[in-house]
């Protein structure tokens, strides 16, 4: 298939279209500066990215980590952990973005002790059962999807780095713990019942530093791994039913389409890959940088990609 490449726009605050770029007049040349010391290597500006009509990037976030789609309001919910919790706690926030990329509400929900909202280092997100669910270090937090009001939290004892989550229609949460380089044995998938009971769903064996998680059309639980290229499919009773392979390790995001097609991201390769049902992984989009926990807009057949270190989101139309 034809590979798509991402088009990145120049500023987190200003959207510059290709047409605008072509029409811009050359800037006047300033007077020659004083001679600079000789460089050890010749200077070379960054290479421009190829432009494709179905791939657009927008900014104005703070370490964009995950995107979920609010289908009722037709908005994208973008989660930003912002500064590391060890340096500045409770400064994460959630933005609402229109499907055309314009910001609806930059800080719809934000960590604020005075308002009783805690968002230390929010990562993965999901919308279900009238709630927005967020994975935040060792706690799953819930917010009313219409008002943004906090609606409770569940502490996961022993968790090191809760990273992504997926929620069933009855409010059961499956959340990954990616552990850390120093503590890979913390790798797990936890199950949280609607009444807040926490248990191990999966731990050990092939489950090495799990990240993105999603449900397939048969109700199985699928997870991608940071440690290697494996994509694991678990039955609802916690047994590994299938192992597939992506193109690269450091996998982060995962969405599964209605026909069973899996779309994954790789932080190592800066790309999106797709795996059709029964097929092998193939490149979908490259040059999408630090792609994290993706969301899927079924109305537009679009994948929304948070580019974590670029403080941006990229929209990839699949049509």
Segment 28-44, tens digit of pLDDT: 443 444 443 444 565 55
Residues 67-91: tens digit of each pLDDT: 999 999 999 999 999 988 888 899 9
Phi, psi (deg, nearest 5) at residue 179: 60, -150
User: Can you tell me the distance from the alpha carbon of 312 to that of 309, in angstroms, rounded to the nearest whole number?
Assistant: 8
Residue pair 104/58 in contact (Cβ under 8 Å)? The answer is no
pTM for this prediction: 0.84
- Compute the radius of gyration of the chain from its Cα atoms: 20
Q: Is 186 helix (H, G, I), strand (E, B) or coil?
A: helix
In this structure, what token pair is assigned to residue 285?
């989009």
In this structure, what token pair is assigned to residue 266?
């790789």
Residue pair 93/111 in contact (Cβ under 8 Å)? The answer is yes
User: Which residue is it, tokens 């798509």?
Assistant: 4
User: Which residue is it, tokens 């279900």?
Assistant: 128
Residue pair 172/221 in contact (Cβ under 8 Å)? The answer is no
Contacts of 93-98 with CB under 8 Å at 24 or more apart are 93/62, 93/119, 94/119, 94/122, 94/125, 94/132, 94/134, 94/143, 94/148, 95/60, 95/61, 96/70, 97/58, 97/313
User: Can you tell me the distance from the alpha carbon of 4 to that of 25, in angstroms, rounded to the nearest whole number?
Assistant: 29
Q: Is 208 helix (H, G, I), strand (E, B) or coil?
A: coil
Residue pair 151/143 in contact (Cβ under 8 Å)? The answer is yes
Q: What is the pLDDT along the chain (319 residues), one digit of tens a residue?
A: 444 444 333 233 323 333 333 333 444 443 444 443 444 565 556 676 677 888 877 777 999 999 999 999 999 999 999 988 888 899 999 999 999 998 899 999 999 888 889 999 999 999 998 999 999 999 999 999 999 999 999 999 999 999 999 999 999 999 999 999 999 999 999 999 999 999 999 999 999 999 999 999 999 999 999 999 999 999 999 999 999 999 999 999 999 999 999 999 999 999 999 999 999 999 999 999 999 999 999 999 999 999 999 999 999 999 8
């Amino acid at each position: 298939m034809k590979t798509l490449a991402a088009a990145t726009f120049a500023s987190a605050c200003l959207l510059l279209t290709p047409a605008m770029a072509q029409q811009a007049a050359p800037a006047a040349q300033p007077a020659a500066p004083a001679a600079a010391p000789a460089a050890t290597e010749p200077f070379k500006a960054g290479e421009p990215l190829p432009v494709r009509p179905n791939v657009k990037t927008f900014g104005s976030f703070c370490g964009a980590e995950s995107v979920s789609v609010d289908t009722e309001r037709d908005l994208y919910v973008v989660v930003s952990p912002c500064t590391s919790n060890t340096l500045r706690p409770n400064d994460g926030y959630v933005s609402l973005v229109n499907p055309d990329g314009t910001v609806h509400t930059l800080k719809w929900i934000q960590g604020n002790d005075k308002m009783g909202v805690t968002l230390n280092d929010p990562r993965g997100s999901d919308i279900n059962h009238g709630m927005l669910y967020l994975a935040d270090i060792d706690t799953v937090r819930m917010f009313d999807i219409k008002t943004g009001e906090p609606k409770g939290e569940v502490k996961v004892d022993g968790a090191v780095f809760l990273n992504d989550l997926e929620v069933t229609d009855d409010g059961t949460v499956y959340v990954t713990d990616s552990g850390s380089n120093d503590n890979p044995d913390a790798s797990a998938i936890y199950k949280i019942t609607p009444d807040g009971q926490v248990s191990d769903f999966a731990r050990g064996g092939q489950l090495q530093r799990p990240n993105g998680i999603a449900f397939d059309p048969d109700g199985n639980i699928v997870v991608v791994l940071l440690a290697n290229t494996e994509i694991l499919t678990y039955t609802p009773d916690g047994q590994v039913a299938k192992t597939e392979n992506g193109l690269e390790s450091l996998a982060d995001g995962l969405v599964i389409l209605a026909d069973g097609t899996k779309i994954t991201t790789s932080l190592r390769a800066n790309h999106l890959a797709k795996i059709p049902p029964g097929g092998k992984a193939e490149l979908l989009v490259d040059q999408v940088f630090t792609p994290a926990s993706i969301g899927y807009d079924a109305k537009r057949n679009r994948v929304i990609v948070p580019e974590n270190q670029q403080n941006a989101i990229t929209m990839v139309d699949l049509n």
